Amino acid sequence: MRASRGAARRVTLALALLLGGAALALPKYRLQAAPQLHLTGGNDLWQLDRRVMSCAYCHAQETGGGSWNPFGQAIQATFRREAEAGRAVKFPQALSVLLESNGDADGDGYADALEVFARTLPGDPASHPERPAADLQAEFDAAGGAAQFAPPTPGQKGAGTK
């Protein structure tokens, strides 16, 4: 009886370590991107709230993992281009470079940076702002344009220049 309890505890502990490690590893980029994209305002518990920035921002599935959506693929391509140009960038810099490029990864007629600004999903063509792109662009430019999504300054908390 004691042997089976010990075995059950070891199995439970092993599963907890395996699943816990995976759960902790997944949100790394989300935890970097959400403040950089100014998606955390007014939510003191944003790190725990998947609604702040879901995995579907970059992944085809809401649960993350698996395949990448067009925006996630654009981030991957940005890393490749930067590396080919001899620039080693980290995730916040790659995200900033992508948003400054004025691309439209999902082809819905709204630049990725405009979709981030409007809080829609830049990798999902069904998720786009309801306002005309020109009106949104004017508001985006007045708010600081893509510079507001600049990576955090070393030594400072938070993100960009917003």
Within a domain: 161: no
Judged against a pLDDT cut of 90, whether residue 67 lies above it is answered with yes
Within a domain: 18: yes
For the chain, percent of residues with pLDDT exceeding 90:
58
Within a domain: 29: yes
pLDDT in tens, 99-113: 999 999 999 999 999
Within a domain: 94: yes
Within a domain: 159: no
Domain count, the chain: 1
Within a domain: 158: no
pLDDT given for residue 64 in this prediction: 84
pLDDT in tens, 49-59: 877 888 899 99
pLDDT in tens, 83-140: 999 999 999 999 999 999 999 999 999 999 999 999 999 999 999 999 999 999 999 9
What domain range includes position 53? 2-149
Within a domain: 157: no
Find the mean pLDDT for residues 148-152: 93
- CA distances to 64, 76, 110, 134, 143 from 90, rounded to whole Å, are 20, 12, 25, 32, 25
Contacts of residue 112, Cβ cutoff 8 Å, sequence gap at least 6: 71, 74, 98, 99, 103, 104, 105, 122
CA 128-55-16 angle, 5° bins:
165
Within a domain: 65: yes
